[in-house]
Amino acid sequence: MSDKTSYEVTDGIAVITIDNPPVNAMSAAVRKSCWDAIDKLAADASAGAAVLICAGRTFIAGADITEFDKPVEDPWLPDLVEKLEASEKLIVAAVHGTALGGGLETAMGCHYRCALPGARVGLPEVNLGLVPGATGTQRLPRLAGVRKALDIMTSGRPIGAEEGLEAGIIDKLIDGDLRAGALAYARELLDTHAPLKRVSQLEVAAGGIDDEFFSEYLQGLSRKARGFFAPLQIVKCVQAALNESYRDALKTERRLFDECKASSHSQAQRHLFFAEREVAKIPDVPKNTPVREINRVAVIGAGTMGGGIAMNFVNAGIPVTVLEVDQAGLDRGLGVIRKNYAVAVDKGRMTQAQLQQAMGMIAPTTDYADVASADLVVEAVFETMQIKKHVFTKLDEVCKQGAILASNTSSLDLDEIAAVTNRPQDVIGLHFFAPAKVMKLLEIVRGEKTAGEVIATAMATAKKIRKVGVLVGVCFGFVGNRMFFPYIREAQLMMLEGIPPERVDQVVYDWGMAMGPHAVMDLSGLDVFYKLNNEWQDRPDDPVYCRMINVLSEMGRLGQKTGAGTYRYEGRKAVPDAEVMEIARREAQALGVQQIEVSDEGIIERLLYSMINEGARVLEEGIAIRPGDIDVIFVNGYGMPRYRGGPMKYADMVGLDKVYAAINKYRDRYGDLWWTPAPLLKQLAEEGRSFREWNENRR
């Protein structure tokens, strides 16, 4: 055997062990050595059956994703799965950790599957823009039924072993040592002359499954997975399982797998899979950098953000002290937190006892002395420099040495905040995104003097509270907001040019964004953008810039919270308001803004390419470490669809030469002020390179 797969016989049962750290991905070497092991089993008279098990922390976590863009080497994984099933000797898969994708498909090629109770199984290929491509779309419905198989494959979410047992995917749960338990199970199956259960020969239970079922299922997907290509192909594979022979259906699976793999969606989603792992790698903060223990957190400010931030830590099992300036503010804040938990109880996501337990982990106070022992303090007060400086001066006075002092500022200069303390090395930015208890993104802002240990601790804490932490540098708006400003700017200008906000929002929504720019502004509050625009110290002087934000804000039309902003609101329903476009026309006339027509493509170019251009500057200035980090920010914090890959991946897929040409087109029309191409973009476009190639060549 090779070093990837070992073979030994214990009491007449072969143990085939795969050992391919870190997650036993089914690389070509593993497939080859596994293939040889099955041949050895067939020829080994001393073995009457086999157990297929993995070393390390998990069963096979899938095909090796790093091989997808290379020529496929024999044996193909589907062929290996078929070979397992064709074995004349009984084979039991023994699952621990996660059997995912090709891992579960391999296990379903075996005749029986056993697992530790804590194990999880799933087919998450859809997260990579793929359908399961190693017979999973045909075997899973045969084991678990059509609906369960569709839910598992279209959601990509793994299920626990107990649920797998109930669904018929797992045959037996093993208590104690997996290897010993699996051997005993194989022995029992042999001794009782259990049949070779070949999953491909099972019937697909079709009860209640008809065309209406599939059309309803597709309707559900159009809501849950709007715009995604792969989920729809999974449904076609499962329909093939019902309507075609196993062999023909496998051909359908192979065809649709290849279509998905070649799609821009899969390229984008595979890019994000690695980008979301890459973000944890900080060039000047080594992996073994010591991390400080965070056992107690304090949150300063019990407003919407402060309350949501506190809930993140409570939900991760970390007790929180919440400080407000007065009892009324404190009571209000705690009331909102309790109400949010009560909603979760109403929805069955937590019990009343868990609500009480969560609230018991929150210590309210108006006294700064009560935050002295916190390991981490997160300031979430009003977004004005004066108030933040006051808070950090107090924290510097009371907090213990070694406490990490974090600001939730969304754009202000962290270095200026740190400068009021005697411990700038312990100051960092933790920019949560509203609603803080839901949005996965956490921009971690490193100041000029922030210590490596503090950065490492912040990154580890992000993972602990189940956030996607991305390290960014200090500038106005950091990365996300700084790149969102040009996107908003262009949406605002188009309104003055006579393009109705509902049209811009619809075009962007159809492109895949969760909401259009005008709907986002109304949700966040036009006054938030009004204040940001005024906080932006070195903003170029341009009377046209976001003019309608100023006009509507000064009219008190702040968005959803005042019942009217860019849209009028009937409840939560946004209704286009002719009065707003009348105001826009009047403002445009006064400012000399020409009324023009813009194509749908032009709307996307102006919004996305202005963002991408700013992204190139963010990379040049080192405010973001990698293009992929920017992509991770936008798919986790700004509602950009994963099948677009994020702004920088999208630019690479469009082609930087095309992006650059378009930017020059807008520069010709609107001048240098906002449309000067970023030097990096210009350079890469002229060299015919992508942001990805630039990033790889920098290593």
Catalytic residues, by residue number, are 105, 125
- The HSE-up count of residue 83 (CA atoms within 13 Å, CB side) is 18
CB of 101 to ligand T1G, least distance (A): 2
Task: Quote helix, strand, coil % in the chain, to nearest 5.
Answer: 55, 15, 35
* Sheet of strand 441-446, all strands in order from the earlier edge strand to the far edge: 362-365, 320-323, 297-300, 376-379, 404-407, 427-432, 441-446, 468-472
Distance of alpha carbon 379 from alpha carbon 393, whole angstroms: 12
Closer residue to ligand T1G (CB): 251 or 277: 277
13 near ligand T1G, judged by CB under 6 A: no
61 near ligand T1G, judged by CB under 6 A: yes
Closer residue to ligand T1G (CB): 64 or 413: 64
23 near ligand T1G, judged by CB under 6 A: yes
Among 124, 181, 308, 647, binds ligand T1G (CB under 6 A): 124
Among 133, 429, 637, 677, binds ligand T1G (CB under 6 A): 133
Structural element, H or E, at residue 130? none
Nearest of 101, 106, 157, 156 to residue 132 by alpha carbon: 101
Buried b (16+ CB within 10 A) or exposed e, 505-517: bebbbebbbebbb
Closer residue to ligand T1G (CB): 100 or 182: 100
CA distances from residue 383 to 108, 121, 365, 378, 541 in whole angstroms, order as listed: 55, 45, 21, 13, 23
Among 25, 116, 159, 378, binds ligand T1G (CB under 6 A): 25
CB of 106 to ligand T1G, least distance (A): 9
Angle (deg, nearest 10), helices 230-243 and 211-224: 170
Torsion of the alpha carbons at 669, 674, 676 and 682, rounded to the nearest 10? -110
Burial of 346 (0-12, 13-18, 19+ CB in 10 A): exposed
- Residue 585, token pair as written in the block: 């026309």
The window from 125-133, 372-380, 623-631, 681-689 that contacts ligand T1G (CB under 6 A) reads 125-133
102 near ligand T1G, judged by CB under 6 A: yes
Q: Which residue has the tokens 């804040």?
A: 333
98 near ligand T1G, judged by CB under 6 A: yes
Torsion of the alpha carbons at 320, 325, 330 and 332, rounded to the nearest 10? -130
101 near ligand T1G, judged by CB under 6 A: yes
The window from 130-138, 198-206, 526-534, 548-556 that contacts ligand T1G (CB under 6 A) reads 130-138
Question: Within positions 372 to 391, which residues make up the interface with ligand T1G, using CB under 6 A?
Answer: none
80 near ligand T1G, judged by CB under 6 A: no
The window from 97-105, 139-147, 413-421, 645-653 that contacts ligand T1G (CB under 6 A) reads 97-105
Closer residue to ligand T1G (CB): 267 or 560: 267
Among 18, 41, 63, 84, binds ligand T1G (CB under 6 A): 63
Among 128, 272, 371, 430, binds ligand T1G (CB under 6 A): 128
Among 22, 71, 195, 207, binds ligand T1G (CB under 6 A): 22
Residue 66 carries which DSSP code?
G
77 near ligand T1G, judged by CB under 6 A: yes
Question: Within positions 269 to 298, which residues make up the interface with ligand T1G, using CB under 6 A?
Answer: 277
Residue 7 near residue 40, CB atoms below 8 Å: yes
Among 48, 132, 306, 307, binds ligand T1G (CB under 6 A): 132
CB of 29 to ligand T1G, least distance (A): 13
CB of 132 to ligand T1G, least distance (A): 4
Cα maximum dimension of the chain: 92
Closer residue to ligand T1G (CB): 124 or 628: 124
The window from 127-135, 185-193, 509-517, 565-573 that contacts ligand T1G (CB under 6 A) reads 127-135
Bridge partners (DSSP) of residue 570 are 573
Distance of alpha carbon 231 from alpha carbon 129, whole angstroms: 8
CB of 98 to ligand T1G, least distance (A): 5
364 near ligand T1G, judged by CB under 6 A: no
Distance of alpha carbon 317 from alpha carbon 332, whole angstroms: 23
CB of 277 to ligand T1G, least distance (A): 4
φ, ψ of residue 362 in degrees (nearest 5): -110, 125
Structural element, H or E, at residue 623? none
Closer residue to ligand T1G (CB): 136 or 565: 136
Name the residues that contact ligand T1G, by CB under 6 A. Answer: 22-23, 25, 61-66, 77, 98, 100-102, 105, 124-125, 128, 130, 132-134, 136, 277
